[in-house]
Chains A and B, each alone.
Chain A
């Protein structure tokens, strides 16, 4: 354990480091990594949305009219209640993922 004087010196030294880091701005590597991360997440979300949209082309139709749907959706939704379960599970997963994202962003003090 350090003495009080040593602790004070260590704090002051760290404050100087923090000031220098702030003056230098964010590290370039971090900046690029963050951009890649955001870009990747955006692309993945877009791919999922397009995938779901093409798999369930008539998703916006009236519930129960499964006979009008395409082949892919028909295989899942033909049973009626099964389709609602799949959509329910997907909606739950999306909601949970969004909640987790918000919690993590809040923990990082970004929102």
Chain B
């Protein structure tokens, strides 16, 4: 299957047994979901295993996606979030969303091959991530999904299991908290 097809089409083809379509999806989302999970488990190897678990659970559940753009991505991140929360509950680990452990592990940062590694390696991004780690985990997660994953409010609400209004409020407060942290680091020209 062509790699320029939408996620939803590729997922449908994957469910029908097209392994090539699934490879494209894995290329698109494998690292991104791993980074998202690693922010909650602080171990990249474990995060990769959980990413595989999330993909497997999604394929096993074979959800009938609404067909709208982003419905696959929203469902995948929601499944990843549920999987990692379950894992953390099982092993009684902290569940706060923190990117610090991900980018502080240079070996892990080296291994991400796509845009994720750019986020982790770029100095300005590192300062941004450092500041993000000083704000509330809920703000951090909402901002991450909005600005790193380019999700829409509706998608973020689906992933975080909150209403659109609650997500808007999280984003507003998160931006305000982040702006204050960035100012402490000497960055006063941040654009949102």
Which residues of A does B touch, CB under 8 Å? 1-2, 4-5, 7-8, 10-12, 14-15, 17-19, 22, 107, 109
Contact = CB atoms under 8 A, between A and B. Distances in A.
Contact of A11 (B22, B85, B112): B22
Nearest to A18: B60
B45 to A, nearest CB: 8
Interface stretch (B49-57, B63-71, B124-132, B143-151): B49-57
A15 B111 contact: no
Tell me the interface secondary structure of chain A in the complex.
helix
A1 B26 contact: no
B136 interface: no
B73 interface: no
B27 interface: yes
Interface residues of B, number: 22
A100 to B, nearest CB: 14
Given A1-B111, A4-B26, A4-B27, A11 B56 contact: yes
A109 B23 CA distance: 30
B55 to A, nearest CB: 5
Contacts of B19: 8, 12
Contacts of A18: 56-57, 60
A14 B23 contact: no
Interface string B151-189: 000000000000000000000000000000000000000
A11 B48 contact: no
Nearest to A5: B23
B60 A8 contact: no
Contact of A7 (B26, B60, B82, B111): B26
B48 A1 contact: yes
Contact of A8 (B22, B57, B112): B22
A4 B57 contact: no
Nearest to A14: B56
